[in-house]
Structure 1
Amino acid sequence: MTNRYVSCSFIGQLGNQLFMIAATLSYAWDHRAIATFPGLHDSNYRLSYNRDRIFFRLNTFQPPTPLIKEFAHTYWYPVHRIPYCEDNLFLTGYYQSWHHFHHHREKLLSLFAPHPDTLDYLSQKYRDLLHHPYTVAIHVRTYCLRDHKALPFLGLDYIKDSIKLFPGSPQFVVFSDRINWCKKHFEPLEGNFIFIEGNDGGQDLALMSLCKHNIIANSTFSWWAAYLNQHDQKKVVAPALVYRSGPTHHFYCPEWIQIPVTLQPYPEDMRAYDEVSQSFDNND
């Protein structure tokens, strides 16, 4: 029997890459094909960087035969499973729906598990935090008003409404592409907040997933942090708006709690907090 291969193109940063790879792997497992990702050798979109730190368990060899057939997928394409193809297949698009791969979640959890070096680093730097019984990761994704016009800024009201769903005395763990903006604007909020700084994307993704619960942004990066969270009693809170238009029921897992969002003007002081070195500044 001749081996069949499947691969994918890459568009965007780590969060998008996780969706594309998960959909490709799921198709391979469903149809006894071999998934390989030679595109991870490219330098654009931090692909080679993520290959070594996130996707180090994946095949990256070039298929011995051409990938002639192509299946394209847009953001809101309604198909839940990629149609079977008798030939080698090359997937293009975003595949931003849990429907494509959730039936293989356990395999994905194993393949996307943090690198041992990442776990060692986190266990030393955040020992007390990782042993805290009640941690809630908060992701504040501010985006860029010029470059991300389709992705609205959620505003602090969403954060205020979300933290109300966690009674008692949780430890809120804040991640952001503009962490200093968060330090300033979280001052009036009630709660115990820790602000995470100085990590790379893989380290932040792992740390977010190791918190007990997640408040995510309209972000594929924190989507994956919540999806990779393996705590049985986890609560995931998400904004009921991802893009300025488009449904969310294919995007969010059914058990995740969606909070209504009222769009707010982009903060006038945001540019004063540009932090281009932040680890996941472009990880969606």
Structure 2
Amino acid sequence: MNPERDLYLDGYWQSEKFFPGLRDSLREEFRLKEKPSTTTQKLSSQMTDENSVAIHVRRGDYVTSAKAKQIYRTLNADYYRSCLLDLAARETGLKLYLFSNDVPWCEANLDVGIPFTPVQHTDGQTAHEDLHLIAQCRHVVIANSTFSWWGAYLGRPHSSRRVYYPEPWFHPGTLDGSAMGCEDWVSEASLADHSSTENARRAA
């Protein structure tokens, strides 16, 4: 390849396989350069001290745009419930924080017996504070969204940390999402396999 040739690379480049071993450097690169709002500072401190869980639910164009719906799965409540119930079976004292552009839908559909706190003090101009807050939580349940992927990837290391991600990421036959999950993350597919195995064991 000619190093002086101009190139235009089109893609999400959303896999740790593109930048192996650079997570610590990227955490530093993406940290907030300016002090966030007082509310964000308070929430950040709480999340750091608690057994906190960030839940990202993206609806909006994933529900209303015909073009987006052809490519991106609209994650239903079952995905979030299965992730949260699996986490609740392993961890105690969970504090759930919701990041979503459709809080009413979440309040109506995501009840798993653990109250959650919607994070609603930010807007389009301060969305970077949402990304920062997702990264402060010990555990994360992400959507098939670049935003929560990076929030989870940049998160604080912890021995019991669990990050859940959708699999498949895209509708079959559209884009290739096979490399989306990091090695230490838990896929939706693995939860389904575990559930099937458990049901077969109980029926035996």
Q: Normalising to structure 2: TM-score of the pair?
A: 0.77
Is the CA contact 1:140–1:217 (under 8 Å) kept in the aligned structure 2? yes
Tell me if 1:253 matches 2:166. no
Whose helix fraction is larger, Structure 1's or Structure 2's? 2
Aligned to 2:53: 136
Amino acid of the structure 1 residue aligned with 2:129: Q
Unpaired runs of 5+ in structure 2?
A: 193-204
152 and 145 in structure 1: CA distance in 2 versus 1, 3 angstrom threshold: farther
- The equivalent residue for 1:154 is 75
Per the alignment, residue 102 of structure 2 pairs with: 178
1:240 Cα deviation after fit: 1.1
Match of 2:10 among 93, 100, 122: 93
Residue deviations 1:46-91 (CA, integer Å, cap 9, x gap): xxxxxxxxxxxxxxxxxxxxxxxxxxxxxxxxxxxxxx65226544
2:170 to 239, 243, 250: 243
CA distance, structure 1, for counterparts of residue 40 and residue 121 of structure 2 = 12
Distance 1:131 1:224, change over 3 A: closer
Is 1:214 equivalent to 2:140 in the alignment?
yes
Provide, for residues 99-125 of structure 1, a one-character-per-residue CA deviation record: whole Å limited to 9, x for no partner. Answer: 11133222211111123322765213x
Q: Partners in 2 of 1:121 and 1:88 — Cα distance?
A: 47
120 and 243 in structure 1: CA distance in 2 versus 1, 3 angstrom threshold: same
Specify whether residues 208 and 100 from structure 1 end up closer, same or farther in structure 2 by C-alpha distance, changes over 3 A only: same
RMSD of aligned alpha carbons: 2.3
The CA deviation at 1:128 is 5.8
Residues 134 and 140 in structure 2, CA contact (< 8 A), matched pair in contact too: yes
Question: Residue 87 of structure 2: which of 166, 172, 186 is its match?
Answer: 166
Q: CA deviation at 1:215?
A: 0.5
One-letter code of the match for 1:164? L
Percentage of matched positions with identical amino acids: 24
The secondary structure found in structure 2 opposite 1:117 is coil
Secondary structure at the counterpart of residue 232 of structure 1: coil
Asked if 2 retains the 8 angstrom alpha-carbon contact of 1:123 and 1:130, the reply is: no
**SS of residue in 1 equivalent to 2:87:** coil
Alignment partners' CA distance in 1, 2:182 and 2:6? 27
Q: Matched residues in 1 for 2:44 and 2:151: separation?
A: 19
SS of the aligned residue for 2:25 comes to: helix
**Which range is displaced more, 140-149 or 191-200?**
140-149
- Opposite residue 238 of structure 1, the aligned amino acid is Y
Paired position in structure 1 for 2:197: none
Letter in 2 for 1:191: I
Alignment partner of 2:54: what SS? strand
| Residues 168 and 178, structure 2, Cα contact 8 Å, conserved in 1 | no
The alpha-carbon distance between structure 1 residues 254 and 180, as it changes in their structure 2 partners (threshold 3 A), is same
Match of 2:115 in 1: 192
Going from structure 1 to structure 2, the CA distance change for 1:179 and 1:99 (only over 3 Å counts) comes to: same
Which of 6, 20, 26 is the aligned partner of 1:108? 26
Larger Rg, first or second structure (1 or 2): 1
Q: Which of 64, 87, 91 in structure 2 is aligned with 1:145?
A: 64
How many residues in Structure 1 have an aligned counterpart in Structure 2? 177
**TM-score (norm: length of structure 1):** 0.57
In 1, the alpha carbon distance for the partners of 2:163 and 2:37 equals: 23
